[in-house]
A = this chain, B = another copy of it.
């Protein structure tokens, strides 16, 4: 477990379930007018003024995170952010979250406080209200389940299904960093196991590690698009890698796509770290995942509005469905794209 919980150890049983919830949520304030009643009754009460979007994700220790190198505060922050990213991918404004946590007696009150500090920070940064949840014990490990709620005018909601042939394929930010951050953390963890006294200098990998441990949902991109008066025709967030997200857009919009390898936005640190790990950067971008950037279809007539914007890159275009989904390599070869499969189930 992260070192910041080792100093004081208050067993959770000391507070009792309801005392614990009161204790962990006492710093949270309500910021959204659609929140009528938050934590403290059988259910929260909302009064949304527009259409509402709802999404949920569950994070399991040993599958989605490893506490050997994940600070609990960052874990709390990230568990909220990955859900807000889905709200943004619908072009909605995130308003509320619920958080349920199950943990074994290995976790102390101080450990939960760290997780809730991260959740609190995310609530402040993204201006969302914590409105409920559940805190319970588990037989082993930590489970975090978050539900996020957003609002949008009906006409601005962007589904995965609105892309048409000749639309531009646009992505925000740069790709591949989160996967490489994980690779760096895993490598250092192996070194640490062999030599616990090693003091690795990870400062040169700061960008990659932050992409992995403390990702941000692209609320700023959503706001940018609004300012540019651009409404995506279809949108998705990149949680599983560019390849499978593009396939979702194509499948649900019943279109094909051409993706240009030379257009993929790479941070210089991604390029150099791929070389260091002897990884192909295009493979990392296509299959890596956890970048939480926004991938969307844009009408060609809107091209001038986004041209040259440093936050947005046109990486391809949509085609008729029968043309399929292809990567056009730097050598101008056309390679059919495949999605990654279901991740191997853990052995029990």
- Residues of A whose CB lies within 8 Å of any CB of B are 11-13, 15-17, 19-20, 36-37, 40-48, 51-58, 60-64, 86-87, 89-90, 92, 96, 98, 100-102, 104-106, 131-134, 136-141, 143, 145, 147-150, 154, 157, 159-161, 235-237, 252, 341-348
Contacts and interface: CB of A to CB of B under 8 A. Distances in A.
A11 to B, nearest CB: 7
Given A63-B139, A147-B147, A42 B90 contact: yes
A237 to B, nearest CB: 6
Contact of A98 (B54, B62, B90): B54
A60 B138 contact: yes
Contacts of A145: 56, 58, 100, 143, 145
B105 A345 contact: yes
Given A132-B56, A143-B60, A43 B150 contact: yes
Contacts of A16: 341-342
A348 B104 contact: yes
A136 B148 CA distance: 18
Nearest to A345: B105
A258 to B, nearest CB: 23
B44 A55 contact: yes
Contact of A345 (B12, B40, B57, B92): B12
Given A40-B160, A58-B100, 16 more contacts: A11-B345, A36-B51, A37-B159, A41-B252, A42-B235, A44-B54, A47-B51, A57-B134, A58-B143, A60-B139, A63-B139, A104-B345, A104-B347, A105-B346, A138-B346, A140-B348
A55 B36 contact: no
Give the residue among A44, A55, A141 with the most B Cβ atoms within 10 A.
A55
A238 to B, nearest CB: 11
Contacts of A36: 51
A98 B345 CA distance: 22
This chain's copy number in the assembly: 2
Contact of A54 (B13, B46, B106): B46
Contact of A47 (B52, B55, B132): B52
A279 to B, nearest CB: 24
Contact of A137 (B19, B160, B345): B345
A295 to B, nearest CB: 11
Contacts of A19: 342
Contacts of A252: 40-41
- Residue among A20, A98, A101, A252 facing the most chain B CB atoms (10 A cut-off): A98
A25 to B, nearest CB: 14
A342 to B, nearest CB: 4
Contacts of A48: 48, 52
Contact of A13 (B46, B154, B341): B341
Contacts of A343: 17, 137
Given A56-B133, A57-B134, A141-B139, A105 B44 contact: no
A84 to B, nearest CB: 10
Contacts of A11: 345
A43 B86 contact: yes
Contacts of A46: 51-54
**Residue among A54, A98, A102, A157 facing the most chain B CB atoms (10 A cut-off):** A54
Contact of A89 (B42, B45, B60): B42
